[in-house]
Structure 1
Amino acid sequence: MALATKLRVPQASAQRRAAPVAPRSRVSVVTRASASQSESASHMGRRDLFMAAAGVGMVTLSSGIALPVHAEGEYETFLGYATPPTSYGGYGGNANEKPRYTFEYPTGWKSETPNKVEKGTQGIDGRVVNPRAKDQRAFLVTLTRAGEDNKSFRLTDLDSTLNGFAGADYQLQDSLAASTNRTTSSRDIGGLTFYDYDIESPDYRYLVTITVADGKVFALFVRSPNKSFGANEAKLRHIIDTFRLI
């Protein structure tokens, strides 16, 4: 679940403090800017460092995990909480809870707050949608059946893994059955293994990344109609590439 307020970028003196926690039932939006290549960057405020755009760099989360940085205004940041269904749809929840995951999505996309049914029966924790093409979207699913040894959720078996998420997206199962090409890979980030899937089918293209932490599965799906995937591929892959647990 997410938030939709603008966060102030802290000054350099506050860099060591934990990232601010956004209000519940909204999307926390942070506009990313390019990092400076100046040797005097250590003497600049964090906002000044972001605004001194001189090329693609890295920005580090409070957890110490780095994210790519791009031109100001190009992407916004989604913060999700992975809380129980009773906290969704604007009901319940603890305002002091900290975000559990983050990813960046294209500016102009809109966040949608999942309701209790979507969270409780489909596991959908957060969602962003392209308002110009609503079939193009990203959504995060959380499940608690992984087991801390990961054995009860076989992330290396693409079919069994993704079929377990079919209830969250009615197009997914059809795309898996009719897929024309599939690729898999894995990455190690912040001590966690992220399993990446790229699924091509006649109608849809899915980019997926999944990881497990503390017995909970976190799966980020990016869905796009084939006809619009090519023109938006870089931005769609950016959503996957910037997914991190906090």
Structure 2
Amino acid sequence: MMKNVAMDAKLRGAQPFRSSAAASVVPRCRVAAKAISTSSQKQHHDEALTAQLARRELLLSVAGLGLATCMPSSPVHAGEEFTTFLGYATPPTSYGGYGGNAKETPRYTFEYPTGWKEEVPNKVEKGTQGIDGRVVNPRMRDQRAFVITLARAGEDNKSFRLTDLDSTLSGFAGADYDLQDALSSATNRTTSSREVDDKTFYDYDIESPEYHYLVTITVSQGKVFGVFVRSPTKSFTANESKLRHIVGTFRLL
């Protein structure tokens, strides 16, 4: 009897040990499926993120294009930095420290290169030479522009007419004695006329060995207006576009 009990105990002790953790082991096929699913989700997430970034870049590009289309175009000559000059064509008594006052209305305007300096004419220059306004290039004082206004309406007190362009231009030479020399020694000279705001403008281009002049003259209500741009001939070509811009923007107001 004791022998059988010992035998049974021995047989029970020989049974293999079963771990409770063995029941929770995931089959290998399920692990592989889970890994594939995780990889697929990651790939899908990456593709979605890439598509989202692409859409965002496209929207930004379209928005930028629309903004650029709606922006106003830059004004002509804005990059060249010109300054507006306003002239008043007042009597000589108004000069000597200022050209007119705040109560007066400008009579003419033009644009000159920024960096040039305005020089107010004195009473003598205004009274005897008719100089109404002047701007000078401080780096080259021989390069300048000045406006002459003459109130004379002719001996018969009627509207002054530019019937003799040569005589009229010579009559302005008193304001700049180099102009008379340029007229007499000109190597090239052209004249033309154009209509601006129902007014006739007479243009002169005078080239001499010493100076090159650009001139525009017109008449309004019996008063003569002339803008003269002067430059040393050797420096004219390098600054031609800016110098022609002065006479090209000359207008009566």
Q: Same fold (TM over 0.5)?
A: yes
1:187–1:106 CA distance, 2 compared to 1 (3 A): same
On the 8 A contact 1:206/1:223 being kept in 2, the answer is: yes
- Aligned twin of 2:228: 221
TM-score by length of 1: 0.70
- Aligned twin of 2:43: none
On the 8 A contact 2:183/2:206 being kept in 1, the answer is: yes
1:19-78 deviation per Cα after TM superposition (whole angstroms, max 9, x unaligned):
xxxxxxxxxxxxxxxxxxx8867xxxxxxx5xx52xxx5xxxxxxxxxxx3124610000
1:145-183 deviation per Cα after TM superposition (whole angstroms, max 9, x unaligned):
2455433x43xx332011100110010111101111110
- Aligned twin of 2:171: 164
Determine helix, strand or coil for the equivalent of 2:237.
helix
In the alignment, structure 1 residue 237 sits paired with structure 2 residue 244:
yes
Determine helix, strand or coil for the equivalent of 1:135.
coil
Determine helix, strand or coil for the equivalent of 1:139.
strand
Cα distance between partner residues in 2 of 1:168 and 1:198: 18
* Count of aligned positions: 183
Give 5+ residue unaligned stretches, structure 1: 1-37, 42-48, 58-68
In the alignment, structure 1 residue 120 sits paired with structure 2 residue 120:
no
Counterpart residue type for residue 112 of structure 1: E
Please give the residue correspondences for 1:139-218 in structure 2 after superposition, counting only pairs within 5 Å: 139-147=146-154, 148-151=158-161, 153-154=162-163, 157-218=164-225
Relative to its length, the structure with more strand (as a share) is: 1
In the alignment, structure 1 residue 137 sits paired with structure 2 residue 119:
no
Cα distance between partner residues in 2 of 1:225 and 1:146: 33
1:145–1:204 CA distance, 2 compared to 1 (3 A): same
Determine helix, strand or coil for the equivalent of 2:78.
coil
Q: Select between 83-92 and 220-229 the one with higher mean Cα deviation.
A: 83-92
Please give the residue correspondences for 1:11-30 in structure 2 after superposition, counting only pairs within 5 Å: none
Larger radius of gyration: 2
Q: What percentage of aligned pairs have identical amino acids? A: 73
Determine helix, strand or coil for the equivalent of 1:145.
coil
On the 8 A contact 1:146/1:212 being kept in 2, the answer is: no
Which has the higher relative contact order, 1 or 2, with Cα contacts under 8 A spaced 6 or more apart?
1
Cα distance between partner residues in 2 of 1:141 and 1:39: 44
On the 8 A contact 1:183/1:198 being kept in 2, the answer is: yes
1:181-205 deviation per Cα after TM superposition (whole angstroms, max 9, x unaligned):
1101111111111000000111010
Give 5+ residue unaligned stretches, structure 2: 1-67
RMSD of the TM alignment (CA)?
1.9
TM-score by length of 2: 0.68
Relative to its length, the structure with more helix (as a share) is: 2
